[in-house]
Structure 1
Amino acid sequence: MFLQLDDRTRSHLALALAEHLKWCRRQAIAAPPELAALLDTLTDSDRQQPPKVPAEPVIGDGWLISYETAARLLSVSRRTVERMVSDGKLQPVPVGRRRLILVDELRRLADAAA
């Protein structure tokens, strides 16, 4: 099989495979040997070690996050985020019963402050 992947996709796939193989080992599940071979193939073209798992997930554009996560990213309290929403500095998005913040809103706020 031949797959042509860009660097970002190859890196993402290698990370996912490495995590899956670790999970299989922890659960004492025999993973198909082809998965390990595929991981080797993916990492040979980039680097010798499988990719490291980031400590926190990478938050991308268009993602909705909780007030708590927004507060952590802004290094403020949840109450400060609530004040920013009530002052109109941040626009929440209603999702069911919850109100979440778009990551784009945090970037807009950071750009305005700079």
Structure 2
Amino acid sequence: MRHRKAGVKLNRTSSHRDAMFRNMVTSMIKHGQIRTTDVKAKELRRWVDKMITLAKRGDLHARRQALAVIREKDVVHRLFAEAKERFGHRAGGYTRIVKLGHRPGDAAPMAMIEFVDPALAGSADTAEA
């Protein structure tokens, strides 16, 4: 039984899974939206919502906790500068997942995860992950 075990395994080691989601969180904050599989998007939502909650808190300890996950100072700085004014009125649910259909190669269900407030998206570019 998997009682009290949060997160998905995705058939990866824990270090690979953590590195993958750290990269995905960084890309999500940098580009505003990314295209990935449905299961990864649902798990990524947990990580991104936690980073935005830390950014809304805005103190030094929260910044250090975010740097432990994101590892790019300019991305963390941008997140902390913009998140409070963009999501200050919102108590959660900072992202949306849009289903895109199936990937041609292996028929994996694809989804696009993006911020609910489009103003946080840095540019019109989309990153593929």
TM over 0.5: no
Return the TM-score normalized by structure 1.
0.27
Return the TM-score normalized by structure 2.
0.25
Q: Which has the higher strand share?
A: 2
